[in-house]
Each structure stands twice: as C-alpha cells, then as structure tokens.
C-alpha cells in the first residue's frame, strides 16, 4: 500500500472534480520571455499533469496592470501572443489528463520600477509606506537605496484599476479553458499588504478594522466570480510570513485570523491555500492545528496545506534523512493529519519541481530523486 493512499481519494471543488488530493504548488520560474509562455512551458506542465496529479496551480501570472510584475520573463495573461501561448499550455495539460488553474499575481510593494522595464510610476502600496515603518522590516528591493519618506497611498481610482485588472485576467483565463482561478494573497504581495495591519495604515473603507482590511481582497474575489461564473472554483493563497520577514504574523490569534478570512470566504473563496514554511508547524499556541487547519475551522471552507512536504532535508533535520532515497519521513505525518480532517488538499512544490515523476513514484511507493537545490534553476 502506498504511503499516500488516503490522498488518492477524489474531491469536488465547486464544479471541478479532482481525482485525488495532491496539487502541484505554484512556483515562480522566469521562463516566459516578454511574458509569453513558450512550448517548453507547456511541456513542463504537461509532464507533471501526465503523472496523475489532482491539480496544477501555475506559477504567478502577472495581471494586465503596469505594476503587476517586475521581471520580463514572468508570464502575463493579456495580448494575442501571450494568450496563444497559454492556449498551448492549457491544451497540453488537458491532453495529458490534468487540470490547471492559473495563479493571478500582483507584486504590490515589491514591484521594482527600476527593474521592471515596462510602464512607469510607483509600486502599489495601500498606505504609501515604502521603507520600514519602525526599522523592523523593509519593502525596498534588494540593492535599492530608497527614502523612508512615505509616498501617496493608492487612490480609489488606483484600487479600482487593479480590481479591473484581476477581472480581465480571470476573463481571459476562463476563455482559454482554465479549470478555475487562483489568487496570490500571501507573502507580502499586494493583497497581503491590505490584509496586514502593519502595512495597511489607511483609515478609509480599505483599512482599519479586519473587515475593512479584507475589503480589497474581497472585492477582487467578487470581481473574479462575476467573470468566471459559478462552476469554477476560486483558490486564495494567504500566509502568516512575508518574503520580507519570515517572523511576521498576519494574525496573532484565531479570532484575528477569522476576522480576516471570513469576508474573503463570504465573497466567494472556495479553497484557502495556506502557505507556511513547514506544514507541521502549529499556528497558534495551545493547538497543533497548522494554518490550513485553522482556515478550515474558522471559515468552513476547504483548505490546502503546503510547506516542506517530502523535503525534510530542506529543514536540516538529519535524523529524518535516509541516504538511500529522498527523505519521505514526513509523509506519514502528513497523511495522519489529513485523515484527522485538518485539511482537504496537499500542495507539493520543490519535490515535484525536482523530480517531475514524484507523484507517480510516491503512489507506487518507489524512491524518488533526492532534493537538489540546483534543480530549481533547471527547466525540467
């Protein structure tokens, strides 16, 4: 019997039927020149779909907005050539028997106007804070000298433009046949900076108490739902940690987290993608529940865990390492927590990037390739 046998049960997410509970997590790759997904990108996703994964969440996809992404090789989802490229990706995944959902991404404060190469203007920040507010955390791109003085916050017009960009991206995606829409609302990017009281210093309808801090994300969800209809699911990624600060907390109590996630659930989120560095780390004192477990408990919505699945080596925990094969000692723990009902789906990132056949091997109980950080740079 496979160690992940319980994860092979089917699951229905709104109108999308998944053959199992294992999902390929979104991972930025910088392999789409001028934002256009190539044939190699199509092959990359199709190879993984062919292993039987329940669902593929794509790397972050830039919105049709000038400050959405700061790298010319991040895929976009607007323009004739770009959409033709995505058509090949989606068709290749479907032909391999897979399901694919693009993750819509706006970098917000981490959009570096000096590097982006397209558009002009300031990165999007809800409060206008650029440098650290109290010296704890900086939103300056690496190597950039920036004034700590605040710049003007996003106006209502700015916010409306970004929401419209999400809606257009979703419209384009479903027109191409994607199986749903994912939204990146984590890691210190734009939606997250509205949610987090550290970065959202507004005192209008978009900031203040948790419901108002969640209002921007909720409006994005509503706009996407209006475009994609009722059959396709909406996935929202959220996190405690930020790329700028791994010790950051979006919420320091269950009640605080529920106050933020509730409006997003009410707006139409079907699955909360709870991003944490290690899936087995408790979120709050007094409970063993991880972040996905709390999302499910607080909202009643489905949740997905992610973070270090089958990658104990990345944690530097020598007692878990078996030199004869990839460290898989955390899979029994993962399955145990799944069977307790803590979460509904499991996202696997670097293990699948490292070994495209990871899922097939895991199902068969076969060893898979040891994790190799160099694999993160390869097109495999």
Task: Specify the pairing of strand 16-18 against strand 11-13.
Answer: antiparallel
φ, ψ for residue 200, nearest 5 deg: -100, 100
**Dihedral, CA of residue 139, residue 130, residue 183 and residue 69, to nearest 10:** -80
φ, ψ for residue 231, nearest 5 deg: -80, -35
d(CA 69, CA 126) in angstroms, rounded, equals: 16
Single out the catalytic residue among 189, 198, 246, 278: 189
| 189 in active site | yes
d(CA 151, CA 144) in angstroms, rounded, equals: 16
d(CA 113, CA 133) in angstroms, rounded, equals: 21
Q: Which residues pair with 63 in a beta bridge?
A: none
- Both tokens assigned to 260: 């933020």
The residues that are catalytic are 189
């Amino acid at each position: 019997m496979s160690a992940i046998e319980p994860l092979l049960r089917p699951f229905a997410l709104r109108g999308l039927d998944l053959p199992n509970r294992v999902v390929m997590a979104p991972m930025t790759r910088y392999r789409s020149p001028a934002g256009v997904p190539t044939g190699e990108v199509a092959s990359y996703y199709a190879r993984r779909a062919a292993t039987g994964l329940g669902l593929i969440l794509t790397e972050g996809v830039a919105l049709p907005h000038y400050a959405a992404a700061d790298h010319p090789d991040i895929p976009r989802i607007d323009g004739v050539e770009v959409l033709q490229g995505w058509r090949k990706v989606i068709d290749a995944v479907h032909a391999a028997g897979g399901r694919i959902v693009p993750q819509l991404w706006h970098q917000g404060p981490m959009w570096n106007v000096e590097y982006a190469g397209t558009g002009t203007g300031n990165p999007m920040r809800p409060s206008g804070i650029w440098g650290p507010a109290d010296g704890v955390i900086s939103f300056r791109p690496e190597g950039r000298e920036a004034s700590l003085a605040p710049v003007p916050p996003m106006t209502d017009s700015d916010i409306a433009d970004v929401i419209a960009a999400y809606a257009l991206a979703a419209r384009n995606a479903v027109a191409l046949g994607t199986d749903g829409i994912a939204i990146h609302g984590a890691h210190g990017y734009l939606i997250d900076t509205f949610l987090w009281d550290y970065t959202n210093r507004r005192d209008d309808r978009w900031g203040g108490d948790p419901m108002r801090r969640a209002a921007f994300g909720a409006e994005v969800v509503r706009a996407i739902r209006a475009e994609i209809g009722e059959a396709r699911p909406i996935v929202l990624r959220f996190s405690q940690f930020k790329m700028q600060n791994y010790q950051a907390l979006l919420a320091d109590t269950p009640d605080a987290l529920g106050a933020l996630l509730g409006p997003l659930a009410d707006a139409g989120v079907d699955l909360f993608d709870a991003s944490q560095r290690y899936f087995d780390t408790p979120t709050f004192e007094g409970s063993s529940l991880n972040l996905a477990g709390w999302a499910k408990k607080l909202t009643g919505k489905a949740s997905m865990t992610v973070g270090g699945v089958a990658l104990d080596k990345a944690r530097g925990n020598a007692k878990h390492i078996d030199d004869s094969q990839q460290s898989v000692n955390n899979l029994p723990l993962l399955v145990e927590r799944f069977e307790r009902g803590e979460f509904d789906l499991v996202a696997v990132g670097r293990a699948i990037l490292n070994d495209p056949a990871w899922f097939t091997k895991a199902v068969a109980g076969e060893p898979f390739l040891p994790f190799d950080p160099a694999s993160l740079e390869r097109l495999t």
